[in-house]
Amino acid sequence: MKKQLTFIITLLFGVVAMTAQTYQYGLVRDFNNTGEIYEYTFVIVPDFANGSVEVGSVNITISISTGNTLTSFTQINGSNWDDNTNFTAAVLNGFTAGDGTRDLWTFSREASSQLTIASHTAGQQIPLFSFVVANMPTSGDITLTENTDAVIVDLAANSGGSFDLSNFFGADIDGTPITDTDFYGGNESGLVMYDLMDPLLNIDEVSDTLHDIIVSPNPAISSFTIQGATSSIDEVKIFDINGGLVKEITADTIDEAISVKELSVGVYFVKISSNQIKKMIKLVKS
């Protein structure tokens, strides 16, 4: 009896260890890579360390405020992704899915297209592809969906299963055939949603302490001031439309008017930092 209990406990621990091996999905801002300020990179984040892993079929669905276009799709690590597919808000409405304000973009790869991921550690961000939001949106957000997302569920149900955009991640981690393995572990906290008005910021990075902050005047001709801060500001950086740093303001001059006389007419982004919290504000120089 004791041996049987030991065997059962060992088996249970083995099952727990096996099911704990998952890859979470994430989006990472990557504007410094190509100079595009609206560039995002899709990464997988394992919760375990492992040697090289063969990856099979994978699917990821991204939700974005309607009217935006994703371009410059770039595969990383030879990941062999198929063409992405766009389900517009109008198409989703035809299947009684969505509220007409968001589009879905789905990216997938087939098991027949081999991909080997090199040895990795737990928590490592492994990039698989990048893309750019082609237009310059001033509102809305871009979000990784979960399989419980109402739009995903409704689309699959109301299309009779023809359009099942659920996320999954097939891999051969422990000798199990790829086609029978799904190691999708949900989305990585903190890498899920980005505000398109503040393109360099994750939604989680915007705190109430900076919620009411503004720059004025905006548009600015020669200078602007920061108004509405409820805590001290540590740093201010100004980026051009391509994500290049054009000006950095030190802490001892932040309370003064910030000159932009030397900047060309155009659109800029003012990044304000306070106690490790950041906010990005769009600034027009006229």
Specify whether 132 is located in the same domain as 34.
yes
pTM of the model: 0.68
| % of the chain exceeding 90 in pLDDT | 33
Task: State residue 198's pLDDT score.
Answer: 67
- Output the domain CATH number for residue 139: 2.60.40
Structure confidence at residue 35 as a pLDDT band (50, 70, 90): low
Q: What is the mean pLDDT of the chain?
A: 81
Domain of 234 in residue numbering reads as: 206-285
| Pairwise CA distance, residues 38 & 68, whole Å | 11
Q: How do residues 259-279 score in pLDDT, each as one tens digit? A: 999 999 988 888 888 776 677
Q: How do residues 195-249 score in pLDDT, each as one tens digit? A: 887 665 555 555 455 667 888 898 999 999 988 877 788 888 887 766 677 898 8
Residue where one domain finishes, among candidates 195, 220, 242: 195
User: Is 5 inside a domain boundary?
Assistant: no
